[in-house]
Structure 1
Amino acid sequence: MWRVRTYHKFVPSLAIRHRSGANVPRKKTKNPLESRKKAVKEAQRILRMRVAQIEASKPRMEEIDPDLLRPERQRQRLAISEEEKECRVLLAKDWSRYQMQRYEEDFRKLTGLIVCRKKALVELKKASEILYEKAIVIDKKLFPLEKKGPTATPPLQSYEAPDAEEDYIHVRT
């Protein structure tokens, strides 16, 4: 009889890797108290760093010599003529008018943008309801805003609520 010899090629990607339970390394258990201590230490370290950064960025104030603050060293106020006062008042009025024009122009631009946005949303709703729903979703990452305040305030002890009698009702004519 003829014996047929076969040679198998070993392919590592196809090999099944098996580990018996004895060779598997044990997971280290972490003590929650130690991890909490590490977190507190890290927070304290970050706080110290930030305080150091703030102190380094503060401008150093030098002591002012008290001799410089004597009344005789202070400047005298200049007398302003009536013409100069009137000129300053007119300049302030001109500036106020200019700022009002700027405000109105910005307001007109903003209202125009809002109108265009509304028209675009109407057209988008006609085209695709799904795209419209995605377009009107508010992106909270763009303008992060959190409001915190009292949700329930206790009544004032000294406040007396008015009765609903006709004596208390005042009608303006």
Structure 2
Amino acid sequence: MLFLVSSSRNISTYIHPLYFRATEVLLGEPLKKKKRIDPAVVRAREERKRKKLQKRVRQLEKHATHMKPIFEIDTLPELLQNEKRSCHLSVPLSEKEIERRKSLEKEWCKYKHAQWIRDLHVIKSIMKSQEIALKELKAVSKQLYKRAVEFDDLYMPYSVTGPVYTPPIKNYDSPDGEYIETTVKYVGE
């Protein structure tokens, strides 16, 4: 017995009349009838919304003259009188001191530039000698050459610490990133 099947959009047609099968659900359903709502209920809802908005506007107008306090800017009087908080930069620098600092900065820049040039020369000479050594190693033994050019994971963890702009503060307890939310919420927000 020969069955020819052609399917198009989950609708199957079969040659043999006694052979049938159920197709997949096509995700269709009849449209839902709209519910009729009493016009008085709709008006009452709209009236409630309008009254709510009017009340909100009145509250905002009532508090419009009040300024929102910013607690982050206010400082305690005890902290302002504290001598530990006195700024050492409040004293104006003399012309001689300004010139001295400029000359020190220029000398430092020259020193760091010369150090960078020296480091470049050292790196270039090391790379050149490495290339020569690898060529000679390849000529001697290809296995040793392959082992020499393999990537070594031991050299990857690299960390450097250097001089910072300001010296560290003694007995400073650094924050670890956690904080408590203390923002005050107001009616107008």
Q: Does TM, scored on the shorter chain, surpass 0.5?
A: no
Higher strand share: 2
Structure showing greater radius of gyration is 2
Question: Larger RCO: Structure 1 or Structure 2 (Cα < 8 Å, ≥ 6 residues apart)?
Answer: 2
